[in-house]
Structure 1
Amino acid sequence: MASLGNENKQEVSDLAEPVRNGESLPTPLPPPEYLAPTIATAALAGGEQGGRALLLENGVSDPDHTFADKSLTFDDQTIRKGFIRKVFGIVLVQLLFTCGIIAFFIFHQPTKRLVQRYPQVMLVAAVINIIVLIMISCFETFRRKHPVNLICLSIYTFTMSVLLGVASSFMDANVVLAGVGITAILVTALSLYAIQTKYDYTAARGVFLTILIGFIVIASMEIWIPSLVTNLPIACLMAIFSCFFLIYDLQMIIGGNHMYSFNPEEYVFAALTLYVDIVRILVYVLRILQRFN
């Protein structure tokens, strides 16, 4: 019986070593020397997950695909440049579409007469515009989940374009064209300034929040005091504040050494913010030009 037990133990020990075609598998090789110290350090600092993160970072594959490297931040140049390209590409499409709608409402006479005869179109567009803006601003699902975020942004862009088109249909075409040209020059100049200036406008977040509250108050007062719309000093002041908001949001998009920046996943919200800044400047420039017309 003792010999039988010894034979069973011997068979178990033989089975413990993996075999392939009658040959034992070779002993796994240790990690390369240039990775061994850093992997050990990472394992001590962050445990198993830290070691796996470092393996992924150094190009070693993760066979079970259960670990996702979460160490990537907006400071990474590739992520930042991709984010900036995506935001400016979306805004460019928005602006081109808006300019096309404005031109259509100005130069297509049947459409121009139709929207002037039925101002309810502007009211419906304004309501939808505000609802979509609240959805994107307040609910993360509507600004991060694809393609819901792009659908909401498209609806907002369409309604805003209709609002601008209806408003432009009551103005002289030359005034509108001049306003678009002045706005383009202002946005280009402010963008260059925001990129190269060493002053961090994002650090003054409290000041811009106060100005934003002032924007909301004045916009609410215009309902009961329509003369504010044509008031030249207020229009000039609001145009200046709009320029500062554009610089602030541009630095939030650019990131880098600024105190605050957008999350890379917030590209739709960043594009919406930049688009609203440009539209706001256009509106106040048109008000100023209309005053001198």
Structure 2
Amino acid sequence: MMHPPPVVKTDLETGPTPALYPNMPESPDLRWSFIRKVYSIVTIQLLLTVAVAAFVVSYHPIVTFLTTTKGGLACYILIIITPFITLFPLYCFHQRHPVNYLLLGIFTVSLAFAVGLSCAFTSGKVILEAAILTAVVVLSLTLFTFWAAKRGYDFNFLGPFLFSALMMLIVFGLIQIFFPLGKISHMIYGCLAALIFSGYIVYDTYNLIKNYDYDDYIWAAVALYLDIINLFLALLNIFDGADGC
């Protein structure tokens, strides 16, 4: 199917800015500015996550305290549930500055601690493999989504399918907690999670290009950040299972 050429807005100083998708009704400059802001926030979140996770992995007394003492176990549970608790007020206040940045910082640091605890029980080789593959997948899917959106492809249809798949993944994860099925089931869970969150990267990037309001930069950053972190953890699960076989 042929699509009409994208609308191009012209700026006398910087020249024409290409539209992100056909018949774009808004200013490409404003949308590009929004996209750069979101990716800047996500980059800071990822750098903070790497720093916190590296500290948790390298400073062994933290893991020892959290896994061998009663007080540590309570702290461990608190660290795990804090990101989920923070998400609700973050959603409610994601357009209210500076509360949104404060809540985003709490959310990111607590999730980074959880990521660090997951990495603490994994070999450095597996972590490196998962990190490299995550970077390649995220970059590839992001470039593909921008390319596809410019040619008029619509990814809104992915929303209901991805949500259903995510619900099934959560139920599968709960079953694993109460009825563990071994390394093979962990690898299957990781493969399914990797596919689902790869789909979410495409879906949320498309929303970033076309659907998010300019004031939703915090929530857009949270969505992409969660996609990337969950993809990394899924790949970590896969490689860890394969390494142990």
> Any conservation in 1 of the 2:46–2:225 contact (CA below 8 Å)?
yes
Identity of aligned residues (%): 26
Residues 157-236 of structure 1 mapped to structure 2, 5 A cutoff:
157-197=108-148, 198=151, 199-227=153-181, 231=185, 232-236=187-191
Given candidates 193, 218, 235, the residue that maps to 1:238 is 193
Name the residue aligned to 2:209.
254
TM-score (norm 2): 0.80
State the Cα deviation string for residues 143-194 of structure 1 (Å, max 9, x = none): 1111111111111101100001111111112211221111111111111111
Given candidates 73, 78, 84, the residue that maps to 1:124 is 78
Q: State the 1:230 CA deviation.
A: 5.5
Q: State the 1:222 CA deviation.
A: 3.3
Q: Which amino acid aligns with 1:234?
A: Y
SS of 1:156 mapped into structure 2: helix
> Any conservation in 1 of the 2:183–2:241 contact (CA below 8 Å)?
no
> Any conservation in 2 of the 1:106–1:173 contact (CA below 8 Å)?
no
Q: Which amino acid aligns with 1:182?
A: L
The aligned length equals 213
User: Alpha carbons of 1:229 and 1:89: their partners in 2 closer, same or farther (altered >3 Å)?
Assistant: farther
State the Cα deviation string for residues 19-53 of structure 1 (Å, max 9, x = none): xxxxxxxxxxxxxxxxxxxxxxxxxxxxxxxxxxx
SS of 1:227 mapped into structure 2: coil
Name the residue aligned to 2:12.
none
1:135 equivalent in alignment to 2:89: yes
Q: Which amino acid aligns with 1:279?
A: I
Q: State the 1:282 CA deviation.
A: 0.5
> Any conservation in 2 of the 1:143–1:268 contact (CA below 8 Å)?
yes
Gap regions ≥5 residues in structure 2: 1-23
Q: Matched residues in 2 for 1:74 and 1:277: separation?
A: 28
Q: State the 1:112 CA deviation.
A: 4.0
Q: Matched residues in 2 for 1:227 and 1:286: separation?
A: 18
Q: CA RMSD in A?
A: 2.0
Q: State the 1:82 CA deviation.
A: 1.5
> Any conservation in 2 of the 1:230–1:287 contact (CA below 8 Å)?
no
Name the residue aligned to 1:96.
47
> Any conservation in 2 of the 1:132–1:156 contact (CA below 8 Å)?
yes
Given candidates 201, 220, 235, the residue that maps to 1:285 is 235
TM-score (norm 1): 0.67
State the Cα deviation string for residues 231-269 of structure 1 (Å, max 9, x = none): 1223212211110111100111012xxxxx111111100
Larger C-alpha radius of gyration, 1 or 2?
A: 1
Q: State the 1:206 CA deviation.
A: 2.3
Q: State the 1:116 CA deviation.
A: 3.7
Name the residue aligned to 2:26.
75
User: Alpha carbons of 1:282 and 1:129: their partners in 2 closer, same or farther (altered >3 Å)?
Assistant: same
User: Alpha carbons of 1:182 and 1:271: their partners in 2 closer, same or farther (altered >3 Å)?
Assistant: same
Gap regions ≥5 residues in structure 1: 1-72, 256-260
